[in-house]
Amino acid sequence: MNILKSRISLSNEAIRRIGPHLKSCAESLYSEHEDVEIGRCFWKHLNTSCTTAKDASKLFFNNFKKDTGYHDNLGYITRRTATRAITLHANKEPKYQILTNAIIIRESMKTLRKVPNSLFLAELNENNEKMTVFNAMSEWRFYTSVDDRVNQPVVNPWRSFFTSLFQESSSRVFKAERPEIEIPVFYYRRNSAIARLHTRDSILNSSSVKLIFAKMDYAPAEARLSSSGNVEVLFVIPISGKSKALTSFLENWSDHLRSQVSLLFAIMGDKQSIDETVSIISPWKQKHVNSVDYIWACKKNKILRKNTIKENFSRGIALQKTIMKMKKERVIFVSDVDLRVSSDTVRRIKLLTEPGTAYFPIFFSEYENRKSGFWRSFSYGMFSMYLSDFKKTGGFRMSRSGWGGEDVEFFSKAILKLKAVRAIDSGIRHIFHEKKCSLSLLPKTLTDCRKSKMTHKADRLELYKMALDKLL
């Protein structure tokens, strides 16, 4: 068994032995890190720890140094690490990820240059049956259409690399002459680079054209282009009260996101809070008539009149009633007025959200001191997906009321119907605010609310200092 997120490999015997203890371990967690807790569970109940074999540390590379501890980014890695490691951890920032990718590509190219004999060359005249000769050499069909879905064009730096390599390797066929590439280099779905070459002098003498087909195995990293590049992105924000946070959210949208996304607020609550919310949004709606809107998302399908509706805020119900009324296909991103979202995040939403694929970002959440925070890995409340995909999942449960839990329940439903991308997104920041846990909540919901509230108090070191100050 492989637990990819935590990079843990377990044998069947290990699973059999630890299985009876997992429930008790899950009920006594000391941290948010599942890999640490699994290790603690093994140590406590089986008196064993993860292997420290030398080959394991090389295959599963951890960016750890004895004198300075763990580091967030890899920087320059050695050739041995680039060619041998199965996983590289940690490497969080895009600029370092690009650097690591470049190093791996460079080392792969060095390896390929050392084996020029792996190129298969076949010479044939213009009148020969090209497909027959090529199929005999490669055992595959050959397509040259750029629009062909079976063959994909090789992009730089691999394109330039293979062009040069094919020219050098085929010089033995053309003696001292370097052939020109007649058509772009392609790789087949089985990861082979294919090129068709001809000599310079053969261009002048079309009656005796010499053609060379060359093939070389390699494993390119797939570059995926998003199908959502030009699609409309709509932020859906459930809200009840929070006038100060709402004003700040709208100002941030106007300054940074106005040209990229539209806003739709799902308003819920009692008459007073609804009136207050509408009074804040209305001027923005008038100024940005095509970009800002709101709807009443109350449980009762009645027109709001003075003192006729009073109900507690339910995030899931507000979102369900709002999204299910939409008809135009688009990418929806469920947000929160306490979030600050960057333009980079909008770009990632467009890149990672596809028909059948949803994006559930892990965002940064501030502590009470507002100077530091943590990655809120236990929250699934912010997500993007196509409207049709949301409806495919069935959405949120309308019978659910009160605080919390709707995000985990929805995520559990969504992954049964859709693929999910789950990743840390440095462009989303949750601004700290006081959390109130009503005693009217169900016991489990009240406990979860209190846990979430205490999680935002401070980090462990600061909590330790606070406790120490009280003791002294």
Structural domain harbouring 213:
116-217
Q: Which of 217, 246, 263 is the last residue of a domain?
A: 217
pLDDT: which is higher, 118 or 37: 37
- Last residue of some domain: 217, 244, 260? 217
Q: Are 186 and 90 part of one and the same domain?
A: no
Question: Average pLDDT of 255-261?
Answer: 94
Residue 194 has pLDDT above 70, yes or no: no
Mean pLDDT of 83-89: 83
Domain co-membership, 107 together with 120: no
171/144: higher pLDDT: 171
Q: Which residue has the higher pLDDT, 444 or 177?
A: 444
The pLDDT of residue 235: 98
Residue 225 domain-assigned (yes or no): no
User: Are both 104 and 124 inside the same structural domain?
Assistant: no
Which of 187-191, 381-385, 400-404 ranks highest by mean pLDDT? 381-385
- Least confident piece of the model among 85-94, 366-375, 406-415: 85-94
Do 86 and 141 share a structural domain? no
Q: Which DSSP symbol is given to 117?
A: G
What percentage of the chain carries pLDDT values higher than 70?
69
The answer on 166 and 81 residing in a single domain is no
Inside any domain, residue 47: yes
Q: Which of the 8 DSSP states describes residue 260?
A: T
Looking at residue 234, its amino acid is L
The H-or-E segment that residue 248 falls in is helix 243-256
Q: What is the mean pLDDT of residues 46-75?
A: 76
Res. 121: pLDDT tops 50: no
Instruction: Say if CB 382 and CB 335 are below 8 A apart.
Output: yes
169 pLDDT tier (thresholds 50, 70, 90): low
Question: Is the domain of 96 the same as that of 168?
Answer: no
Instruction: Return d(Cα 371, Cα 141) in angstroms, integer.
Output: 60
Q: Domain of 424: which CATH number?
A: 3.90.550.10
Taking only the tens place, the pLDDT of each residue in 314-363 is 889 999 999 999 999 999 999 999 999 999 899 899 988 999 999 999 99
Whether residue 458 sits in one domain with residue 416:
yes
Give the three-class secondary structure for 124: strand
Q: Which of 217, 242, 276 is the last residue of a domain?
A: 217
My answer on whether 192 and 266 are in the same domain is: no
Q: Of the spans 73-87, 216-230, 272-286, which averages the highest pLDDT? A: 272-286
More confident residue, 237 or 215: 237
pLDDT of residue 272: 86
451: which strand partners? none
In this structure, is residue 227 part of a structural domain? no
pLDDT, residue 34, reads 78
Predicted confidence band at 183 (pLDDT cuts at 50, 70, 90)? very low
pLDDT of residue 145: 37
Q: Is the pLDDT of residue 131 over 50?
A: no
pLDDT at 221: 45
Task: Mean pLDDT check: name the lowest of 34-38, 160-164, 369-373.
Answer: 160-164
What pLDDT shows up at residue 361? 94
Confidence class for position 217, pLDDT limits 50, 70, 90: low
Residue 58 pLDDT greater than 80, yes or no: no
Question: Which one, of 218, 209, 156, 205, lies nearest residue 182 by Cα?
Answer: 209
53: pLDDT confidence band, cut at 50, 70 and 90?
A: low
Other beta carbons less than 10 A from residue 118's beta carbon: 12
Q: Which backbone phi and psi does 445 adopt, to 5 degrees? A: -65, -40
Residue that wins the pLDDT comparison between 157 and 310: 157
* pLDDT at 150 exceeding the cut of 70: no
**Does residue 86 have a pLDDT over 60?**
yes
Long-range contacts of 223-228 (CB under 8 A, 24+ apart): 223/155, 226/350, 226/351, 226/352, 226/353, 226/354, 227/354, 227/355, 228/331, 228/349, 228/350, 228/351, 228/353, 228/354
Whole-angstrom Cα distance, residue 252 to residue 248? 6
Q: Which two tokens stand for residue 60?
A: 């599963």
Q: Which pLDDT band holds residue 216 (cuts at 50, 70, 90)?
A: low
Tell which residue, 453, 227, 199, 217, has the closest CA to residue 350. Answer: 227
Q: What is the mean pLDDT of the chain?
A: 75
In a domain, 206, yes or no: yes
298 or 310, higher pLDDT: 298
Structural contact between residues 271 and 316, judged by C-beta atoms closer than 8 angstroms: no
Q: How many domains does the chain divide into? A: 3
Phi, psi of 124 (to 5 degrees): -155, 155
- The whole-number average pLDDT for the span 120-138 is 40
Residue 212 has pLDDT above 50, yes or no: no
- Give the predicted TM-score (pTM) of the model: 0.55
- Residue 233: per-residue pLDDT: 95
**357 falls within a domain:** yes
Q: Is the pLDDT of residue 207 over 80?
A: no
Least confident of 95-99, 263-267, 365-369, 374-378: 95-99
Does residue 373 surpass a pLDDT of 60? yes
